[in-house]
Structure 1
Amino acid sequence: MHTLTDTVTLPNGATLKNRLVIAPLTVCLSDANGYVTPQEVDYYASRTGAVGMYIAGCSYIQPNGRGWLGEEAIYDDSFIPGLSKMAAAMKRNGTKAIMQIFHAGRMAEADAIFGHDLVSAGDVAAPLEGYRTPRPLTEEEITDVIKNFKAATIRAIKAGFDGVEIHGANNYLIHQFFSPHSNTRTDRWGGSLEKRAAFPLAVVEAVLCAAREAGRKDFIVGYRLSPREQWTPGITLKDTLYLVDKLASLQLDYLHISQSHIGSVATEQGYTDKSILAYINETVNGRLPIISVGNIQTRSDVEEALTNSDMAAVGGSALIDPNWAAKLLNNHDAAIRTKLAPEDCEILKVSPLAYKILSSRAPERIL
């Protein structure tokens, strides 16, 4: 088993100083137009420095890709100065700063996209209260989205980030293309499992191309995925292992597995003998590092996570206690905060909306 203080060398040669990661957590501190605010920079600065890698909350790659107000944008060069301040704040003490890039697709809230069309792979609304029916992206628009992921990567490089994480999890657009629930297409982007995987793989290739063209061999490119889906028809673990195998064959630097709990077990026939994470680890077979996340709060949780992954990531724990990682690394476990109260928000630099999200534990918002 790995030890949390071990260094990690990624496939591109970049080295992380330990196996602890702060997971992407949208804290709703950007302004109404998606520009990074001083409060947002302060938030990231207050939580970095101890972990090996810090992944910022998702940044939307085009105007109709924002999920909700408070997210930072990366679809125009005018956002680079603010993002540069964020990256610089996150890179303290050698921590690697990663920008997560995404498009919300059908999960976008109406007031977040300012009248732009709600789009997805198909015309099926998320089966949750209050979510609207999207229109399917055209072939030309799909090509544009892929180009925008590439352009966002170039901006992340210019802003000084050490890498990007492609957000293919948590019911957002890339996930929607892979899902048989949301992808009802009959063209080359939908239908069979192979065709549903085409869009995620095309985005990965575009992002990797951006890093190559920039001459940044040390630029980290990761991919985040959710191994299951909560509705029917939905992504099965068998589907996920197909995609995992394809992703592990590309020049990615890590695979980030988004779950509500690191020990989650599948219920589908043929995949109940061990945890979902163990099946994914078996499929990857050492081809690239795996990051696990899901209700990690204590040292024993980290140790459990590292049995089937190379790095352990926390979101809510770092939000509640900015010094979570430092306390763990210095064996001050008993001093770790475990609860967040409204009156703590100001001193912990947490927005009221982020507190509300954390308190509700809405899965499509927390990770």
Structure 2
Amino acid sequence: MSGDEVATTPALFTPITIRGLTIRNRVWVPPLCQYSVTARDGVPHDWHLVHLGAMAAGGAGLVIAEATAVNPEGRISDHDTGLWNEEQATAWARITRFLHSQGAASGIQLAHAGRKASIWPEPMRRPGSQPLDEGGWPTVSASAIAFDGYAEPVALDEAGIVQVIDDFRSAARRAVDAGFDLVEVHAAHGYLVHQFLSPLSNVRTDRWGGSLENRARLLLEIVRAVRTEIGELVPLFVRFSATDWTPGGWDEEQTATVAGWAQNAGADFFDVSTGGLVAAADIPVGPGYQAHFAEYVGERSDVPVSAVGRITNARHADDLVATGRADAIMLGKAMMRDPHFALRAAHELGAGTAMWPYQYLRARPEVNDGEW
């Protein structure tokens, strides 16, 4: 193959290697909460297999399972998935086997919702927290400051913080045992780790609050604990909200600084989103509206990053990777609307048909007058 031919390969469909894992392309599925565990036991089931499996069959390079709680109290709602026991790990193993059979890498986002836990699940969504006498539970956070309209949380004490770190460690071990290729720590969208990072939700005066170093301590301790547990070959991602979109809050400069610290602690890749901490934040939403935050963090800290947020077409996604503004693209709602987005993007960009499942080969545009 000539140099010119190599250069024509769309950037979006070049593989990327992170530690011991090679991912076939840069079309990635971010964690997408499904609120579908109606048994309320944290165990993923057929819906999760089909939801995630369809995207793997549809050509995605990496499929990251939804925000999965490291303990029961860390669930956003009682319909969320978990990874605090072996029954859950066994159920996840069935899903990772299928993702691998389709050529996709599998990841899982480990999370604790903190003060945004114990809300009504999607099928019965109501405002505010789920009351204790209707299945809810007390919530915790960095400080006893409620999210707008939710119940006031209890500020975690030292023992509680140490337990959270250990819960992330244990869940990471179960994730690897269940066959996940990588682990992502959720430090975004106003959930517990983000609550520690932001000065708007963390007014502590001990070693877990105050300075940036102290507010970042929980994340860095979790990263170190997870890295120790999963070994040297398994990639470790961190998802950040790069800004609270609110004066005096968490911002991209702090994100870039802490990303560098997290990389030194053992993290490999940074999934950059925004918002979630302040309910009334004014967010200027539009096509690719968060991508420049990923670019900022990547350049400022010299770390690999993915972009997310209203990226809905192949050429936009490819341009972000080709120009070095992001190393990969997370496509959430676009993939929910079209689980075969990666196959369609490959067709539009001329990337070939190698990702097509053999069961679907006869549906390729190349054998159907070029029509998608």
Could you say whether these structures have the same fold, taking a TM-score greater than 0.5 normalized by the shorter chain as the test?
Answer: yes
Distance 2:177 2:293 in 1: 37
State the partner residue of 1:243.
Answer: 258
Listed one character per residue, the Cα deviations across residues 308-359 of structure 1 (whole Å, up to 9, x for unaligned) are: 11111100011111111111112289xxxxxxxxxxxxxxxxxxxxxxxxxx
Residues 19, 310 of structure 1: 8 Å contact kept = yes
| Aligned CA distance change for structure 1 residues 81 and 111 (closer, same or farther; 3 Å) | farther
Pick one of 172, 177, 188 that aligns with 2:196.
177
Give SS of 2:31's match.
coil
Task: Give 2:42's match in structure 1, choosing from 21, 34, 43.
Answer: 34
- Report the Cα offset of residue 89 of structure 1: 2.4
Q: Aligned partners of 1:23, 1:254: CA distance in 2, in Å?
A: 13
Residues 291, 312 of structure 1: 8 Å contact kept: yes
Q: CA deviation at 1:45?
A: 1.4
Counterpart CA distance in 2 for 1:55 and 1:47 is 10
Residue equivalent to 1:163:
182
Partner of residue 336, structure 1: none
2:82 equivalent among 73, 84, 88: 73
Q: Say which of 146, 163, 167 aligns to 1:125.
A: 146
8 Å contact kept, 1:47–1:318: yes
Amino acid at match of 1:151: S
Code of the residue aligned with 2:317 in structure 1: it is V
Of the three residues 210, 216, 219, the one matched with 2:234 is 219
Say whether residues 1:305 and 2:312 are aligned partners: no
After TM superposition, give the deviation of residue 232 of structure 1 in Å: 4.6
Q: Higher mean Cα deviation, 171-180 or 291-300?
A: 291-300
Q: What residue is the counterpart of 1:357 in the other structure?
A: none
SS class of match (1:48): helix
How high is the TM-score relative to the length of structure 2? 0.80
**Alignment partner of 2:106: what SS?**
strand
Q: Which moved more, 1:90-99 or 1:158-167?
A: 90-99
Cα deviation, residue 226, structure 1: 0.6
For residues 243-290 of structure 1, give each alpha carbon's deviation from its aligned partner in whole angstroms, at most 9, with x where no partner exists: 12212333322111114667548xxxxxxxx933332121232xx421
Instruction: Tell me the CA shift for residue 115 of structure 1.
Output: 4.3
Give the stretch that moved more between structures: 296-305 or 172-181.
296-305
Q: Offset of 1:117 from its aligned partner?
A: 2.0
Q: Which stretches in structure 1 are left out of the alignment for 5+ residues?
A: 266-273, 334-367
Match of 1:278 in 2: 295
- Higher-Rg structure is 2
The answer as to 2:42 corresponding to 1:13 is no
Partners of 1:78 and 1:277 in 2: CA distance: 36
RMSD of Structure 2 on Structure 1 (CA)? 2.2
Partners of 1:263 and 1:276 within 8 A in 2: no
Instruction: Tell me how far 1:19 sits from its aligned partner.
Output: 1.1
- Secondary structure in 2 aligned to 1:331? helix
CA distance in 2, matches of 1:116, 1:44: 29
Q: What is the one-letter code of the residue matched to 1:67?
A: I
Aligned pair count?
A: 316
* Structure 2 residue 67 is the aligned partner of structure 1 residue 58: yes
The residue correspondences of 1:285-296 to structure 2 (distance < 5 A) are 285=302, 288-296=303-311
> Percent of pairs identical after alignment?
29
Contact 1:150–1:207 under 8 Å retained in 2: yes
Distance across 1 between alignment mates of 2:193 and 2:14: 32
Unaligned runs of 5+ in 2: 1-6, 120-128, 275-284, 351-372
Which residue of the other structure, out of 142, 153, 157, is the alignment partner of 1:138?
A: 157
Task: Give the drift of 1:13.
Answer: 3.0
Mapped contact 1:20–1:51 kept (Cα < 8 A): yes
